[in-house]
Homo-oligomer: A and B are copies of this chain.
Amino acid sequence: MLVRMHLARIVIVDADEEKMSMIVLQEHNGQRAFPILIGIHEAYAIDRRIRGASPPRPMTHDLIDRLLGELDCELEQIVISELRDSTFFAKLVLRRDGRLIEIDARPSDAIAVGAGTETPIYVDDSVLKEVC
């Protein structure tokens, strides 16, 4: 079963002596929440896309967004599907011509592509049980 979540927080520590970044996903209609450590590059991408900042040239996740648009695809949902050896796995669920297409991705990339849009984020129940 999939549980609806939302992106509750982005934490970016970007100092010379320490670099760390994570996102926190929280249950949409509940209290459960958990962090995912992500790359600082992806953290900045999520933050920038949430703020709706538009650089003169498309950054990498803007490029993915445009690709989907040009190829008549809608990002229908983001699913954090699995936790294996302390690593989260995710999927982009796309809709094209009424058909659903699933593409494996890292959670950070999936959430960066969806950031700034209304795309819902889901986490598989089995993952939530492990981390909460």
Which residues in A have some Cβ–Cβ distance to B below 8 Å? 16, 41-42, 56-61, 63-64, 66-68, 70-71, 73, 87, 89, 92, 94, 96, 101, 103-106, 109
The CA-CA distance from A93 to B91 in the complex, in Å, is: 26
Per assembly, the copies of the chain total: 2
Q: B60 touching A61 by the CB < 8 A rule?
A: yes
- Shortest C-beta distance, A34 to chain B (Å), equals 18
Do residues A66 and B104 form an inter-chain contact, with CB atoms below 8 A?
yes
Residues of B within 8 A of A103 (CB): 63, 66-67, 70
Going nearest first, the 3 A-B pairs with the smallest beta carbon separation are A41-B41, A71-B71, A57-B106
Contact B101 A57 (CB under 8 A): no
Report the nearest B residue to A16, measured CB to CB. B16
**Nearest residue, chain B, Cβ from A110:** B63
